[in-house]
Every structure is written in C-alpha cells, then in structure tokens.
Chain A
Amino acid sequence: MEMSTAPHAQFRETLADSGLQDAIYSATGRLMEKRLATIRPDVLPDYQELRERAGALKKLAIENLDYYLEQFESNVEARGGRVVWCRDAGEAAEFLVKLAREKDARLLTKVKSMTTEEIGLNEHLQQHGLEAVESDLGEFIVQLARSRPYHIVAPALNLTRYDVADLFTRTLGVERETVPENQTKIARRVLREKFLAADIGISGANFLVADSGAVVLVTNEGNGRMCTTLPRVHVAVAGIEKLIPRAQDLAVFLKLLGRSATGQPLTVYTSFLAGPRRANEADGPGEFYVLLLDNGRSRLLADREKRQSLYCIRCGACLNHCPVYRKIGGHNYPWVYSGPIGTVISPQFLGIAHDPWLPFASSLCGACAEVCPVKIDLPKLILELRGEVVKAQSREGASRLERLGFRVWSWLMRRPKLYELAGMMGSLVLSGSGDGKWLRGVPFPLSAGPLKAWTSVRDLPPLPSRSFRQMWRTRQAGSR
C-alpha cells in the first residue's frame, strides 16, 4: 500500500544518512528545548492565554482581510510609501525588474524571506541580469550551495560547519575555516561590500500592521537593518495574510514569535519600518514599497475551515516538534514550506493532485497543534485534506484497490458474525509457529501490500487462535 507517487527512495536515503539524521535531530532538539525554556509557566505564566489571543487576532485579521488591507494601504501611502498588489510570482518579479531598470540598479541585497523563496524571486531576478544577494547567514550559505531552505527558520539546518567550510572554500576561494565564529567573519566581509554597494534592499515581513502602515521585521544578525536602511530603495515582499489589525497587537505576537521560533524572549532586532526617510531623518531609504502578494492566498480564504492555515506566522515550531520532519528533513517536502504547515498549505497552494501523498505523511500525533502559537488545528486540516484526496482520486479512478479495501472493511465491520469468521480465517493463515514468536514475514499471497510494508521494518504478531470475543464466551460460561 506504499503510496506510489511519494518519494520513498529519497526518504530512505535521508533516513540512512546518519550524519544528516544527527544534524536534523540535534538542531531541532535544541530549538525545542530553547522554546520550552522560554514558555515555562514560571517565566511566561500567560503563555496559553497569549496563544488564544494570537489565534483570535489572526482570525479577526483573516476574516476581515479586505478591510485591513485597505487600511494598511492608505496608512503606507500616508507615510509616503507605496503598496503594490501582485497576483502571483510573475507580477512580483515583473515589478521588481521594472523598478530595478528605472533606478538603474544592478545589485539587490535581501533579508531572509520565505515569501520570496515561495515565488523563486532570486532566479527571476537573475534571469534579468540582476544580482540578488542573501544576507542572512543561513540563507547566504543556502544561496552559495545553490540549494533551497531546509527549514522555515533555520535554512541551513542540514549543514554542519564542516560542510560550510568546504562550501566557502569552493565558492569564495577562502582558506578552509571550520570555526563557526570565523566563518561568520568571512560572510560578514563578503556581505559588508554588498550592503554598501546595493541599490535596492528586499525584505519580507513578519507582520504588516494595518493601523500604522508599518512593516515589522524580526531578525538576529543586523543584516535586516543593513538591507532596509542603506540602499536607496526598500521593497518589502509579503503575503496578504501577514496583516495584523493594530500596533498594540504586536505585544501578543512578538512575545510568541521569538519564543516559538528560536526560544528567544525577543529576537536581537525588532524593526518597525514605515515609509521612506523623512526630511528630518539621517538615514533610511528614499523610496519604500510594500509588495502585497496573493499567489493563491485568496483561494484559501474561500474555505471556511481551511482558511486558518493563513494564520501561520512562520515560526517553524511545528517543524521542530514534528517526528516526521525530524526523520525526513526539509528537502523531501515538495515545496519550500516543510513540516506540518507545509503539509497543510502546499496542497492548497499547488492543488491536491500535485502531491496526493503529502497529507498522508503524518502519524497525526498532534505535536504540531500543541506548539502552534496561533493555534492552527493542523491535524484536523491534514485529515480534511486526506478526505479531499480520497474524493478526488475516486473521481479519477485512482487508488481503486484501497477504496475497495475500505468498502469491504466497512461491510464486514457492520456484520459482527462475518467479521468474527474473517478473523478466524486470518488466524489460521497467520498463526505463526505456535511459540508466540512474532513473524518476520508473511506467506504468499499476503506478502504484498500493507503486510509487506509492515514487515519491511517490524515484526508482526501471530494472530491468536481465539479472539477476545471467543475467549470472553468461555470466560462467561466458566463463571456461571
């Protein structure tokens, strides 16, 4: 019953790579521990109330998105900035290329942004002869490796410092350096020149504040400030779901984001960017744009239940706590968003036919929902998507065998006598050797499908000669 289109060989490859397994497990484990240390009841007694509040605020924003978007736009414009509405990746890239031409810009520096990863912005810009340089250390590494982020918050989580040493030597021509602090110095040297020479700075947005027209960025490395204040032009690229109603709501969100993401009460820098440099200000960009991206989000809005996927603030906590992510890592997911949130939003953005196996790649353990700071019911959404896949596949005639299996199962489960009989027949075939030892394999023709999959990694219990109901009858007869 292995799902035919899932990349099982890739899963096995990742699982067999013990170095990679250690890297994923220890990095996510550290993030889990740090998170737990900052939300403990003695340090943050109102953690659960904050989650409630954050979920409610996101709900308010998403249910009234039209209103808040317009309010945001007029406030950005009142501060001398401009809002650019983009339907998809193409429109976003087109605007930036045109802007770069107008400004005679060649070099763009970037703050870490999953939204620009989502639309493949760097590749688009490159095709038009523009150089976009990632300035977050992790993203810088990922860009040098010509790879894609392994994790929403920690893009180079899969690479060790030795991998980075080799990469720097190969791509930057520096001597091999394995001490992380010194590697950072190398990156800093390279990036410093880029910051000074850049014409346009591109950032994402952690929050867009409707009542003040501000873009809020949380960063740790200072690169965010370099990118958003040094170049002549700053463009923030953000999905429309990043809206929050009021500046005062940040008191809730900022308390949760740093803690959930990296186990920091607050990140090192929290930047509130609203409009270009004003007459009495010494620095800041001369022009300020907010590029509001739809790229499928308004389609998600239409679904009453699943629109809660848009509450996500991209903290990555659900990835760190997901036992599946911790096994298969980030690159085995079909899109830039991995882990439970990727499992939920990828099918909605790309269409469920794109990777019908994805919603099934979860044990439904619920760890994700437990840690989500905005209380997205991820397991529930995964279940809904499973239902949608099954419906779509039955229309297309796919998974016929599985459907038949569940039809037979349902029929049998409503006929207790036949169910009992089927069990008895099963126990004849799978009785084992009688010594109670579990089975390493099963005889033909059962040695296919689910039982084959089961015994590929585990033993199977021999079926007892009598089921509970049969034993119960004997027990009751004896006690009378």
Chain B
Amino acid sequence: MPARVSLFVTCIVDQLFPEVGLAAADVLERIGYTVDFPEKQTCCGQPAFNTGYRDEAREVACHCLEVLAGADYVVVPSGSCASMITHHYDELFARDPARLEAVRRLKPRVWEFSKFLLEVAGVEDVGARYDGVVTFHDSCHGLRELGIKEGPRRLLGRVQGLTLREMDIPEECCGFGGTFSVKFPSISGGMSRTKIESIVKTGADAVVGVDASCLLQLRGALSRDGLPIRALHLAQVLAAH
C-alpha cells in the first residue's frame, strides 16, 4: 500500500493555474505516492490575514483545518500558503485552545512541494526532462519562513536537458504581496520590472518558482512588456519528460 498524500492546491492554482496542480500530482504519483484531493478545500485564509481581516481569515482557516484534518501528508505547491498554515495559524488561533491543538497536529504533516520531495520522499531525481535554460526565483515566504533555497535548485539540477542560470537578485521580491499588488499597483509594478530586468539578463527562456502567486505577477508583467519568457512552477518542470 503506497503512502497517501493529499494535495492542497491553493485557490490560485485551483482557479487560475490548474495545470500546476496536475503537474504536482503527476510528479508525486510518478515517485510512488497515491494522491488525493480533499474536494472541500478552498483557501488557506492568507488574503484576509495579510490585509488585516483577522476574523475573516480565522473563519476560512477553520474551514481549511477541518478539510485537512484527516490527511497523512498535505502537499502544497506554494511556500506562502504552506507557511500560512505552519507559521501563522498558531497566532490566528492563539485564544482557541481546541483549534490550536488541531493546528499542532496538522502542522508537521503540511509540506511545501519541493520540501516534501526532498525531505519526506527523499527523491532528488524525479526522472524529468526539460530542454531549455531556466532561472529560479526565490519566493519570499518560502525562502524566509520555510528556508527553501537550495532544495529547488537541487531538484532542477537533476532534470535532463535543463540549464539553470542564476539571476543577480534571485532573492528580491517580485512585488506581488497579495492585496499589496492592487492597493499599490505602481510600486508593485515597479518591483516586478526590477525583477524582470534581472531575469532577462540571464538569457533564460523561463523563470521557475515554487509559488503560483509570484508567477502570476511575473508572467503578468512579462506579458504586458511583450517578453516571450515563460513563468513556470517547479512542478511543471519536474512533470515534464
């Protein structure tokens, strides 16, 4: 009986980039896991939490806790949403002992996609092939809250045909920042241009990341500027063969 993982695809992937969720499922199945998708899942609550609407965030987080309660492993193709559960639910439920207990039980089972591959599955080579030059964007919450830095690079390093070329500022924010992107569009847009300049300099034909939200921002700006550079989730690259 192979181990079972539950995908928490995030609302952005569900609604905007379903191909990322499918790619993550493909990779996990390829390395021997049984993948399920708890159908009642929606969002982790981060949009409200980061905009100061704690009550609304808590309501949605309660729902998320219930939906994921029965999972052995929860794999999330997003550093930011995984970190919302593992690093911010505590604070959200600080005054709710029962739910805090549920958070404590859930936390160790929640894994960001690349960390799951490396630290739980112990797999570095997933048998992928991608012919092209890519550059890797470090997503802020993945990098600074979950310590995701070398992992995705190790995974990319084992992809046949792939060349990884680093940016001069891989760790600089893409400018998304959730509602920041629409509350301060000019600043957010400016930040994405700084990042894009650095992406273009690498000569890569795709920028790869572990958060669909950063890719939404980067791809949106690349598209507006007429630049033919793709923005791909790590799962999409690892699913390719």
A407 (CB) vs chain B CBs: closest residue: B56
- What residues make up the interface of A, taking CB atoms closer than 8 Å to B? 1-3, 6, 8, 11-12, 15, 25, 323-324, 326-328, 357, 359-367, 369-370, 383, 386-391, 402-403, 406-407, 409-410, 412-414, 416, 419, 423, 426, 437-438, 440, 449-451, 453-454, 456-461, 463-464, 466-472, 475
* CB-based contact B15/A426 at 8 Å: yes
Q: List 21 A-B contacts (CB under 8 A).
A: A1-B179, A2-B182, A323-B173, A323-B175, A324-B187, A357-B183, A360-B51, A363-B173, A363-B178, A365-B144, A367-B144, A386-B50, A389-B52, A390-B53, A407-B56, A410-B59, A414-B63, A438-B224, A458-B224, A468-B9, A472-B21
Task: Find the residue from A406, A451, A459 having the highest chain B CB count within 10 A.
Answer: A406
Known: A11-B187, A364-B50, A416-B39. A458 touches B140 (CB 8 A): no
Asked if B192 is at the interface (CB within 8 A of a chain A CB), the reply is: yes
Residue of A nearest to B15 (CB): A423
Q: Which of B40-48, B107-115, B125-133, B149-157 lies on the face that meets chain A?
A: B40-48
Contact of B175 with A363 in the complex, beta carbons under 8 Å: yes
Q: List the A side residues contacting B171 at CB < 8 Å.
A: 367
Q: Is the CB of A365 within 8 A of B220?
A: no
B183:A419 contact, CB within 8 angstroms = no
Residues B220 and A438 in contact, CB atoms below 8 Å apart: yes
Distance to closest chain A CB from B189 (angstroms): 3
Task: Determine the main DSSP class of A at the interface with B.
Answer: helix
Looking at the assembled complex, report how far the CB atom of A205 sits from the nearest CB atom of chain B, in whole angstroms: 32
Inside 8 A of A409's CB, which chain B residues have their CB? 47-48, 56, 60
Q: Is the interface of B mostly helix, strand, loop or mixed?
A: helix
Beyond A363-B181, A363-B188, A466-B18, 11 additional pairs, beta carbon < 8 A: A6-B184, A8-B184, A324-B191, A366-B145, A386-B51, A416-B41, A419-B42, A438-B224, A454-B182, A464-B16, A467-B14
Give the distance in Å from the alpha carbon of A470 to the alpha carbon of B32 in the complex: 24
Residues of A within 8 A of B62 (CB): 414
Give bound CA distance, A456 to B25, whole Å: 35
Tell me, yes or no, whether B185 is within 8 Å of chain A by CB.
yes
Contacts of B220 in A (CB 8 A): 438, 454, 458-461
Check A413–B186 contact: CB distance below 8 A: no
The answer to whether B219 touches A461 (Cβ under 8 A) is yes
Structural contact, A327 and B191, CB atoms closer than 8 A? yes
| Measured CA separation A365–B191 after assembly (Å) | 12
**B177 and A461 contact, CB distance less than 8 A:** no
Complex alpha-carbon distance, A357 and B53, angstroms:
15
Given contacts A323-B175, A453-B185, A467-B15, contact A438 B219 (CB under 8 A): yes
Q: Which residue on A lies nearest to B41, using beta carbons?
A: A416
Contact A469 B14 (CB under 8 A): yes
Q: Which of B189-239 contact A (CB under 8 A)?
A: 189-192, 194, 216-217, 219-221, 223-224
Q: Is A323 in contact with B186, judged by CB distance below 8 angstroms? A: no
Q: Which B residues are in CB contact (< 8 Å) with A468?
A: 9, 13-15, 18, 21-22, 37
Q: List A contacts of B54 (CB < 8 A).
A: 387, 390
Which B residues lie at the A interface, using CB under 8 A? Answer: 9, 11, 13-18, 21-22, 25, 37, 39-43, 45, 47-54, 56, 59-60, 62-63, 140-141, 144-145, 171-173, 175-192, 194, 216-217, 219-221, 223-224
B45: which A residues are within 8 A, CB to CB? 413
B187 surroundings in chain A (CB, below 8 A): 11, 15, 324, 327-328, 361
Residue from A15, A362, A407 within 8 A of B186 (CB atoms): A15
| Inter-chain contacts of B60 with A (CB < 8 A) | 409-410, 413-414
Does A413 lie within 8 Å of B63, measured CB to CB? Answer: yes
Instruction: Tell whether A454 pairs with B14 under 8 Å between CB atoms, given A419-B42, A460-B220.
Output: no
5 tightest A-B CB contacts, nearest first = A363-B177, A457-B189, A386-B52, A458-B220, A365-B173
